[in-house]
Structure 1
Amino acid sequence: MHGGRMASAGGATSILVLAPAAAVTSSCPSTLFFKSGKKKKKKSAAATGACHGRRRRATPCRATTSGRGEGDSDGLLWLPRRDLLAGLTGVAAFPGLALADVPKVYEGCGAGESLVTDDLLGCDTIGGPPCPPPAKAGIQTVNFYELPPPKKVRVRRPAHELGPDEVRRYRNALAEMKERNVSDPSSFAAQAAIHEAYCDGHYHIDPTERNRAFDVHFSWLFAPWHRMYIYFYERMVNHYMERDGSGGGFALPYWNWDAPAGMAIPAMFKEKNSALNDNYRNPDHLDAMVDLDYLSRIQKPPVKFTSQPQDPEMYKDILDSNLSTVYNQMIRTGKGARCFLGDKFCSEASFTINEINERSGRRRNGNQKLLRGTTSGSLERMAHTAVHVWTGNPGSSAVGHDGKEHKGADMGFLGSAGRDPLFYSHHANVDRLWHLWSTKLGGAGCNDPEWLDTSFVFCDFVDGTDDMRLVRIRVRDVLDTANLGYTYAEPDKETGYKDWVDSKPTRRLPPVSAATPVTKSEPPTFPKTLKVGENVVIESVPRQKKPGGGKEVLEVLVIEGIDFDPGQNSKFDVAINAPSENAKDVGPRYVEYAGSFAGVRAAKEKPGDRRAGVLAVPIDDVLADVGVGDGEPVSVVIVPREGDVKITSAPRIEFQAYC
């Protein structure tokens, strides 16, 4: 064992489909906390920020906006001008209701089920890693919007373009952070523990009398929470640069894996005995080209990253795949806020299948639908997930909050990912792609106050001092990077994304040869357990004709009730009108490719737990490229790639408001 790791011998979605609200009456949640149906006394304190303890309280009967200062959503220039459809939320089933009062199909979030504030969260291990230590007496909590605006703008640059002096300054600051004890909130260990606590099941939220696990993945929280997290990490590094006399102004470099020159682990992170290095990376990938569609191409050998490739054909294969992956993520399936950033966090949907079964009985006879589950956007489920799995070492493991060893440490397991310094530059690039989507690609955000007023608390240094403070920061505070005092430099000064913006899929899967025997099979029945090598073909999925009236709509492919094991990497691809015998080759370069469901390995809440997810992707571009007429039925092909996954209901296609 080393640092909670053991060496052994030996990557999702966009729109959550809207449905009519279900009218259910609920009582106000109790002020007591519950877990697994047993009443528990309140704990005296629960750490909810980066370095403090805070007493939790129950959610009020009706949710309201936070009321914290200025910042009306109408004043945000980036917001969409079109109105969202009314009835975005329904009312979820609450404990204590008679079964007859429970809707048969989960229809969305009830009022207040999407608002997350720091005082609704609690961490399992009070005062012990990875939960932050209790706050010291006299520590001040301030609101971010009350702080003075930044005096200078830091420019985040590609990591492979940094000079020796810039690398040295970062390396030295990180070395000092690594020498500090985990009890120091500014230590590297404490910074890494923030991600572990928020992403490996240590935090819990209690809006409906159930102390359920909380995770910032698989919802609209993913992008803003990670932006906050690496912003405060960047400030910690700056503090230690100022202490050693090398000056501040540090801007976190980004791993530019979406550009050909950056498609490898940057050299600055591979120096031996450097604080920027990490011993838990896949040794086969240290000098290889990153694979942004990795879980679909995991059997392919690594391609060495070099200016003069030994095998030009293999080099072009992975380069084209990478660029097409980013094109699909950013443009083809990244249409609208829910598609790109993920659908709303919903505490009623964000628990495990075991609890779904226990609480509602929706599957008691094996023929009732699951709750919808949680929905990530293309920003999370595509290249981001692939890079995590590709970087982590499959021959090492880390201990999760469940006390068990999980393979893939460091980056390939959510509980240990923050221990690799490369993680922060990886997420800086994810953040940069959100920034490009918002500023260059016309991406429009969500005006839901439950998203805008979601808040978290992080530990921070008071500028120019060694004094610590707590900063409460909301989603609305981080929508514009200028508000945080940074922007991004682009390697291509003309556009910054020239390579992948021109990488629209053009390939077509070859038709089945007349000499190839075609295997006739019965239509699949659901639930359906996916098996790698056995494609699932659903013929003649009905479609409606596009509605008139001039309203902007998207045609969306929806797969609900994806029952998967969170303890494994999970992925399957989906294609439209693909020849079933050749569908195994489908990927982002092919016009038939519609999208993917994917997730990174994480610990389970309880032994045997499984999660429920949703895949919902816009397919307008796919249908146009394949040449399908308006309202014409299509075949949907599911191509299993990785993990223990079961699909409980057949895919459907429907129109949704452009979000």
Structure 2
Amino acid sequence: MRALPHDDPRSLAQQAEVHCSYCNNGYPQVGYRDLKMQVHSCWLFFPFHRWYLYFYEKIMGELIGDPTFALPFWNWDAPAGMYIPEIFTDTTSSLYDQYRNAKHQPPKLLDLNYSGTDDEVDDATRIKENLTTMYQQMVSKAKSHRLFYGTPYSAGDDLKPGEGNLELIPHDSIHFWTGDPKQAHLEDMGTFYSAGRDPLFYAHHSNVDRMWSIYKSKLGGTDIEKTDWLDTEFLFYDEKKNLVRVKVRDSLDTTKLGYVYDDKVEIPWLTSKPTARKSSNKRQPTISSADLTTKFSGTLTDTISVEVKRPSRTKRTMAEKAAQDEVLVIKGIEFAGNETVKFDVYVNDDAESLAGKDKSEFAGSFIHLPHTEKKAIKKNLMVSITTLLEELDAETDSSVVVTLVPKVGKGTITIGGFSIELINTT
């Protein structure tokens, strides 16, 4: 693939451009010339990347004369896989990429919720935090289609970005952890336009695709039934250099695409529930719920704590929780699109010290990988707190204290507001 001419659609250079084009406003929407196509930060994330990997795999099989060739997946969700696989670190191999974080080569343990610096924690703690992160993103905080798949995005929509859980963490954070901090935009893996230049990208996304499969096969997840999602189309070049059109609905069953995932690979995070500190010295809000209106707007330069009212103090039944998820919504997160942004979110945490990533009070994180365009981007973050409230014995509280801790970001980062809402799980 590296040796093919640049204009051959099967070349590694052109394969990387496919990803760049679909995520950097390279294509207009059909029938809406002024609206650009984006496959990240929305419900197209999983099916687009599945099709992308499918054609990449077919091209590789054609080039080596083996139609049964299958991409390996980097199983970063299990302790044995929480390192860059050595097959990618041999400097004489075509799988090597020079633009990776030099400090994160094996035997450096992967941080699934990386914040730009390597925290001083021992490997046992890091593994525990990583497994808890996976449990929260895949199990306790993925009760609704919106939180797993991302924001609905139909023809004619000007995308209001909102990633699903897994796209944010660990997908984005692994890109961030892998990219070279000495490069302008954390190239190659740390930014969308160049991520596909690194062969590690495809093993990383194979495991992302595997998470979608696990979500449906082991966690009771279902596909979205809306035709706007099912009939969304993408264009790819196949292994014969033919331009083909595919639909989301035809990507949903991997057996029809010719592959399944090895079900003997361990999934240790399925039982890695967080533990609650339940501090008696809870953090007090710097902004009360009385002052927190829909017109709230603040700049995130330092840690802030706000009181956010809940919809009800009545403890909900299991049936009610199954039908509607209680969700913390952080609105109007605005920043320059060419900057990396990361902040962490805590609920009812201790006043003196922040909870570890394996604790219930650690509610989640927001992360944005840089684009080449500097223009402002505005996003919302939605975090399920249904299970968190159970774990913190806060189901009958009238409000919670939400703390935001900035980790990475240059320039102005503003927050438009906060709310807690009940959203349908399908």
TM-score by length of 1: 0.60
Deviation at 1:441, TM superposition (A): 0.9
Tell me if structure 2 keeps the 8 A contact 1:564–1:645: yes
C-alpha RMSD of the superposition:
2.3
Aligned residue pairs total: 415
SS in 2 for 1:340: helix
Cα separation, 1, equivalents of 2:233 and 2:156: 19
- Is the alpha carbon distance of 1:506 and 1:334 closer, same or farther for their aligned partners in structure 2, counting shifts above 3 Å? same
Cα separation, 2, equivalents of 1:394 and 1:501: 33
Q: Amino acid of the residue matched to residue 654 of structure 1?
A: E
Aligned to 2:420: 653
Question: 1:222-371 to 2 correspondence within 5 Å?
Answer: 222-242=45-65, 247-287=66-106, 288-295=108-115, 298-300=117-119, 314-346=122-154, 350=158
Deviation at 1:491, TM superposition (A): 5.0
Cα separation, 2, equivalents of 1:626 and 1:233: 45
For residues 232-261 of structure 1, the C-alpha deviation after alignment (integer angstroms, 9 at most, x for no partner) is: 00000000110xxxx331110011111111
SS in 2 for 1:179: coil
Q: Does 1:586 align with 2:355?
A: yes
Q: Amino acid of the residue matched to residue 163 of structure 2?
A: S
Q: Does 1:192 align with 2:16?
A: yes
Task: Pick the aligned partner of 2:300 from 513, 530, 542.
Answer: 530
Tell me if structure 1 keeps the 8 A contact 2:25–2:36: yes
Aligned to 1:458: 236
Deviation at 1:595, TM superposition (A): 2.3
Tell me if structure 1 keeps the 8 A contact 2:331–2:381: yes
Aligned to 2:258: 485
Question: 1:542-581 to 2 correspondence within 5 Å?
Answer: 542-544=310-312, 545=314, 552-581=323-352
SS in 2 for 1:289: coil
Cα separation, 2, equivalents of 1:559 and 1:540: 10
Task: Pick the aligned partner of 1:391 from 178, 187, 190.
Answer: 178
Cα separation, 2, equivalents of 1:200 and 1:182: 20
Q: Does 1:374 align with 2:161?
A: yes
Structure number with bigger Rg: 1
Tell me if structure 1 keeps the 8 A contact 2:172–2:369: yes
Tell me if structure 2 keeps the 8 A contact 1:346–1:374: no
SS in 2 for 1:652: strand
Aligned to 2:309: 541
Aligned to 1:426: 204
SS in 1 for 2:325: strand
For residues 468-494 of structure 1, the C-alpha deviation after alignment (integer angstroms, 9 at most, x for no partner) is: 3222111110111111110111453xx
Deviation at 1:601, TM superposition (A): 1.3
Cα separation, 2, equivalents of 1:324 and 1:652: 25
Tell me if structure 2 keeps the 8 A contact 1:258–1:323: yes
Tell me if structure 1 keeps the 8 A contact 2:5–2:11: yes
Tell me if structure 1 keeps the 8 A contact 2:235–2:245: yes
Cα separation, 1, equivalents of 2:359 and 2:157: 33
Task: Pick the aligned partner of 1:417 from 176, 190, 195.
Answer: 195
Cα separation, 2, equivalents of 1:348 and 1:611: 19
Q: Amino acid of the residue matched to residue 292 of structure 1?
A: L
Deviation at 1:611, TM superposition (A): 1.0
Task: Pick the aligned partner of 1:639 from 405, 410, 421.
Answer: 405
- Is the alpha carbon distance of 1:348 and 1:453 closer, same or farther for their aligned partners in structure 2, counting shifts above 3 Å? closer
SS in 2 for 1:261: helix
Cα separation, 2, equivalents of 1:202 and 1:184: 19
Q: Amino acid of the residue matched to residue 487 of structure 1?
A: V
Q: Amino acid of the residue matched to residue 338 of structure 2?
A: G
Aligned to 2:245: 472
Q: Amino acid of the residue matched to residue 234 of structure 2?
A: F
Tell me if structure 2 keeps the 8 A contact 1:412–1:600: yes
Tell me if structure 2 keeps the 8 A contact 1:509–1:586: no
Percentage of identical aligned residues: 38
Cα separation, 2, equivalents of 1:627 and 1:519: 18
Q: Does 1:181 align with 2:5?
A: yes
Cα separation, 2, equivalents of 1:587 and 1:569: 22
SS in 2 for 1:635: strand
- Is the alpha carbon distance of 1:588 and 1:259 closer, same or farther for their aligned partners in structure 2, counting shifts above 3 Å? same
- Is the alpha carbon distance of 1:199 and 1:509 closer, same or farther for their aligned partners in structure 2, counting shifts above 3 Å? farther
Deviation at 1:541, TM superposition (A): 2.0
